[in-house]
Amino acid sequence: MEKEQNSVVMLKEEESIGTVRIAETVVAHIASIAASEVEGASLPGGAASKASKGVKVEIKNNSVKVEIAVNVKYGYNIPEVSQQLQSKVKSAVENMTGLTCSNVNVRFSSVIIK
């Protein structure tokens, strides 16, 4: 897999059919949607469609590193929420892209009180 300009990564190339490319922003969006499904966590900026700005993705040699900033809702266990976030994001990225997700680093940026 080769990294190209504008943060686009070639996933597959077959002479008879064509190529498949994926932008890092697409991977970031997948990660933000997966994270928004975890109970006790919320993404800065609201809806998942706009929340990928809190997600950083780096793709090298078929391996993805994800850094995600989230808010934790008051009363939830941070280590448990973190583990669920990491598992959900890793699974979603790997299942949807075929890439290996080597790291999912979670940063809790604030506490949300209802």
* pLDDT tens digits, one per residue of 22-49: 899 999 999 999 999 999 998 887 654 4
pLDDT given at position 4: 43
Structural domain boundaries of the chain?
3-112
Q: With 0-12 CB in 10 A as exposed, 13-18 as middle and 19+ as buried, what is 71?
A: middle
pLDDT given at position 12: 67
Superfamily for domain range 3-112: Cation efflux protein, cytoplasmic domain (3.30.70.1350)
Reduced to 3 states, what is the DSSP secondary structure of residue 27?
helix
Question: Which tokens go with 53?
Answer: 């700005």
Is 70:43 a contact under the CB 8 Å cutoff? yes
Report the C-alpha gap between 45 and 33 in whole angstroms.
13
Strands (E), the chain: 3-4, 8-14, 18-23, 41-42, 55-60, 63-73, 100-112
Quote the longest CA-to-CA distance of the chain: 56
Percent of the chain scoring above 70 in pLDDT: 85
pTM for this prediction: 0.83
pLDDT given at position 10: 75
> Binning pLDDT at 50, 70 and 90, where does residue 3 land?
very low
